[in-house]
């Protein structure tokens, strides 16, 4: 009887570790056994070149290790298996920046960090930044231009009740959002903070945040655009194109990658079924409208406004966007050469024919507010005096 137990144990042990050892070979010859490539942030797929100095400082070994992680099919299989088991057994996600919240809402831990003030930069740095923004605002105002600042809340802040209990009950400290908000008021800067989006998933007809996404739903972006448009019309007096969409909302299965980007990062074998989402069909009436020229500077929250065509629908076609104050959309060419980033441009010269600057910084990016644009503008203004 004892011998039978040993035999059974040996067979199970051999089978289990045999699968582990030979899984890459099995996957190589049978593509149906291969898991999808991992989603989320990826290492470079390029095989590194060997250089003696890279070997000596260890960078070659590190790059080659990262290359093998992408090339090895079994890595993807076991990462996805690990995620699936943790979710099915414990309702958790084995990812350093993802939290499984209520109703299958994935919440970024990094946005929770900002909401509880763990990345607070201090009142002095906030005031220094806002003082420079006041100078920039005055410079633009003197030339008949405007500055509009957008500071959307993080998903975690807007959907606090959906966080896991430990994170929901964690005490909040001083946070960048509160200090920037108070400093903006003191300087009477033009700001939309989208406070009305906080808790709106429970109150409105449609969700503003998707279960599987980091950003707003397309419906949320449409509401945000409506808010921005109305603010510009009311506060600045420009007659922007109207937006016809409120009776043109279709609820359907997820239609955009941004609606499930966090689930793609989590790397499931089989993702939980996600709820259908609303997709407005926006029609812009540009007849007799003021097609103002806008410079957009911001993070991914404004990038999706640009990608979804809302920026183009509301503003003049000559309205560029600087992603993280650096990458140029659309690309800029000088003498047949493509410029790599906004640092190749004169920041004041760009504004000569612009009517409005929209600076967008989501709550989690307030710690690096403006990504150098504020400082570049301030120094350029000082130098022009």
pLDDT tens per residue, range 99-135 = 999 999 999 998 999 999 999 999 999 999 999 999 9
For residue 43, what pLDDT is reported?
47
State the Cα–Cα distance between residues 18 and 38, nearest whole angstrom.
24
* Side-chain half-sphere CA neighbours of 207 within 13 A: 20
Q: Could you please report the per-residue DSSP string of 120-136?
A: ---HHHHHHHHHHHHHH
β-pair type (277-280, 356-360): unpaired
Q: Which two tokens stand for residue 210?
A: 């998707």
Percent of the chain with pLDDT over 90: 62
What confidence tens digit (pLDDT) does each residue in 246-261 have? 999 999 988 788 898 8
CA angle 369-238-181, nearest 5°?
30
Average pLDDT over every residue of 176-184: 96
| Whole-number Cα distances in Å, 283 to 73, 167, 218, 248, 267 | 45, 41, 14, 9, 36
Distance of CA 293 to the CA centre of its chain: 25
Look at residue 294 and tell me whether its pLDDT is greater than 80.
yes
Three-class DSSP labels, 56-85: HHCHHHHHHHHHHHHHCHHHHHHHHHHHHH
Give the alpha-carbon dihedral of 319, 323, 326, 331, to 10 degrees.
-50
Whole-prediction pTM = 0.83
pLDDT in tens, 120-175: 999 999 999 999 999 999 999 999 999 999 999 999 999 999 999 999 999 999 99
DSSP state letter for 275: P
Q: Is 319 helix (H, G, I), strand (E, B) or coil?
A: coil
Instruction: Provide the 10 A C-beta neighbour count for residue 252.
Output: 9
Beta strands 356-360; 146-150: pairing state: parallel
Average pLDDT, stretch 203-218?
92
Helices (H) and strands (E) in the chain, counts: 15, 14
With a cut of 50, say whether residue 86 has pLDDT above it. Answer: yes
- The per-residue pLDDT of the chain, averaged, comes to 87
Least confidently predicted of 23-27, 91-95, 99-103, 224-228 = 23-27
CB atoms within 10 A of CB 272: 14
86 Cα distance to chain centroid: 25
Query: What is the band of 296 on the pLDDT scale with cuts at 50, 70, 90?
Result: very high
């Amino acid at each position: 009887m004892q011998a039978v137990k040993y035999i059974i144990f040996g067979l199970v042990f051999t089978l289990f570790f045999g699968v582990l050892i030979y899984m890459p070979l099995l996957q190589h010859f049978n593509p149906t056994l291969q898991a999808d490539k991992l989603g989320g942030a990826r290492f470079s797929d390029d095989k590194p070149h060997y250089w003696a100095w890279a070997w000596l400082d260890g960078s070659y070994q590190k790059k080659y290790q990262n290359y093998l992680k992408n090339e090895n099919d079994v890595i993807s299989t076991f990462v996805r298996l690990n995620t699936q088991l943790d979710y099915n057994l414990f309702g958790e996600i084995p990812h350093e920046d993802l939290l499984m919240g209520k109703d299958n809402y994935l919440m970024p831990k990094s946005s929770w960090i900002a909401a509880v003030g763990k990345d607070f930069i201090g009142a002095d740095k906030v005031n220094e930044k806002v003082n420079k923004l006041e100078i920039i605002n005055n410079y633009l105002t003197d030339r008949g231009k405007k500055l509009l600042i957008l500071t959307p809340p993080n998903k975690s802040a807007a959907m606090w009740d959906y966080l896991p209990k430990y994170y929901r009950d964690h005490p909040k400290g001083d946070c960048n959002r509160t200090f920037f908000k108070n400093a903006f008021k003191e300087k009477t800067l033009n700001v939309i903070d989208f406070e009305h989006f906080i808790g709106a998933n429970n109150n409105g007809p449609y969700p503003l945040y998707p279960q599987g996404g980091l950003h707003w739903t397309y419906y949320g972006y449409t509401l945000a655009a409506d808010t921005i448009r109305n603010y510009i019309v009311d506060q600045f007096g420009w007659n922007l194109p109207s937006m016809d969409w409120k009776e043109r909302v279709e609820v359907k299965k997820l239609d955009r990658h941004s609606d499930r980007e966090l689930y793609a990062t989590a790397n499931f074998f089989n993702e939980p079924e996600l709820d259908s989402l609303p997709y407005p069909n926006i029609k812009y009436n540009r007849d007799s409208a003021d097609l103002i020229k806008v410079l957009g500077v911001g993070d991914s929250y404004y990038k999706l406004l640009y990608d979804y065509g809302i920026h183009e629908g509301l503003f003049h076609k000559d309205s560029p966007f600087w992603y993280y104050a650096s990458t140029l959309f659309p690309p800029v060419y000088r003498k047949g050469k493509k410029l790599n980033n906004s640092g190749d441009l004169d920041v004041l010269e760009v504004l000569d024919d612009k009517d409005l600057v929209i600076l967008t910084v989501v709550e989690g990016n307030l710690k690096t507010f403006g990504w150098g644009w504020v400082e570049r503008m301030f120094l350029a203004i000082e130098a022009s005096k």
